[in-house]
């Protein structure tokens, strides 16, 4: 039985004061309303990692970053290393989000290095995959997602890949209000799990949480999360409103 996970990805939103207020609101609502054993992760912008970590200390809510460098350390102005995240300590990091792939040209080989850096510092990567609309329309979406998984992760040992969280986020569903149907989500999650099983065996594949992301809202979360291979969600827009985010958590 895999634990359900709901992660919020705040992307590039909020000021420090707003971030503190939102974290507080989420914490209070979770304490009073969330009774089930859902793992909640807040993936906040770098400048808020320290304060969010302090706010969440002693609670069941964990903190994640939205990216890290593929380099260990050195002359990479503006970059943030896995070791820095670990030193806060931040336990999770999103890697390979489609916005990073699209706007910052992050590709398979680079992401494989980022995964290695994160794991070397005992961070749990939330590794994202997902196809753009034109690939879905061409019907090659399963092949592309399998390729993203192979390129980013298949250099890992079975033990290492067992430490990851995977997130399937169809690009056409991100921030568009257009959610994948439960069937579309379940089908792709099953494809990902089958791909993992073919390489690492069924036991490892069954242990890896696969989250769905793309316009997850309070009114569709429960149905999506009830699919057998959907282990929770990676939530963008709706994670910026405490009420909506906590209602999504309750859907898990």
Residues with catalytic roles: 97, 169
Min dist CB 147 to ligand 13P, Å, is: 20
Closest CB to ligand 13P: residue number: 236
H helices present in the chain, as ranges: 16-33, 49-56, 82-87, 98-103, 108-120, 133-138, 141-153, 158-161, 182-200, 202-207, 218-225, 242-251
Of the two residues 236 and 251, which places its CB atom closer to ligand 13P in the complex?
Answer: 236
Decide if 233 contacts 6 (C-beta within 8 A). yes
The yes or no reply on residue 6 touching ligand 13P (CB under 6 A) is no
Distance CA 132, CA 125 (A): 22
The yes or no reply on residue 214 touching ligand 13P (CB under 6 A) is yes
Distance CA 90, CA 116 (A): 16
- The DSSP symbol for 79 reads -
Distance CA 237, CA 183 (A): 23
Min dist CB 102 to ligand 13P, Å, is: 11
Min dist CB 236 to ligand 13P, Å, is: 2
Of the two residues 165 and 216, which places its CB atom closer to ligand 13P in the complex?
Answer: 216
Of the two residues 89 and 175, which places its CB atom closer to ligand 13P in the complex?
Answer: 175
The yes or no reply on residue 5 touching ligand 13P (CB under 6 A) is no
Q: Which of 169, 195, 229, 244 binds ligand 13P (CB under 6 A)?
A: 169
Q: What would the DSSP string read from start to end of 23-56?
A: HHHHHHHHHHH--S--EEEEE--GGGHHHHHHHH
Q: Which of 47, 89, 109, 175 binds ligand 13P (CB under 6 A)?
A: 175
Site string for ligand 13P, 194-213 (x = CB under 6 A): -------------------x
The yes or no reply on residue 23 touching ligand 13P (CB under 6 A) is no
Question: Prior bond to 89 cis, omega within 30?
Answer: yes
At CA 40, angle to CA 35 and CA 96, rounded to 5? Answer: 155
Q: Which of 22, 44, 82, 174 binds ligand 13P (CB under 6 A)?
A: 174
* Contacts to ligand 13P by CB under 6 A: 9, 97, 169, 174-175, 213-216, 234-238
């Amino acid at each position: 039985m895999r634990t359900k996970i709901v992660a919020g990805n705040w992307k590039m939103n909020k000021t420090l004061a707003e971030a503190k207020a939102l974290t507080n609101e989420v914490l209070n609502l979770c304490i009073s309303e969330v009774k089930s054993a859902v793992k909640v992760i807040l993936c906040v912008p770098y400048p808020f990692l320290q304060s969010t970590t302090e706010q969440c200390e002693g609670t069941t809510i964990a903190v994640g970053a939205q990216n890290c460098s593929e380099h260990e350390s050195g002359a990479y102005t503006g970059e943030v290393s896995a070791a820095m995240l670990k030193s806060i300590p931040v336990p999770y990091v999103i890697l390979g989000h489609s916005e990073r792939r699209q706007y910052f040209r992050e590709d398979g080989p680079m992401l494989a290095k980022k995964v290695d850096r994160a794991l070397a510092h005992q961070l749990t990567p939330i590794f994202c995959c997902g196809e753009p609309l034109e690939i879905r329309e061409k019907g090659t979406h399963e092949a592309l997602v399998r390729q993203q998984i192979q390129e980013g992760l298949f250099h890992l040992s079975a033990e290492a890949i067992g430490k990851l969280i995977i997130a399937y986020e169809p690009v056409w569903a991100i921030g568009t209000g257009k959610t994948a149907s439960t069937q579309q989500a379940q089908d792709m999650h099953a494809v990902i799990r089958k791909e993992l099983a073919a390489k690492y065996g069924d036991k490892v594949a069954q242990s890896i949480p696969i989250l769905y992301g793309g316009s997850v809202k309070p009114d569709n979360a429960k149905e999506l999360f009830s699919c057998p291979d959907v282990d929770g969600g990676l939530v963008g827009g709706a994670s910026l409103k405490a009420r909506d985010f906590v209602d999504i958590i309750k859907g898990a």
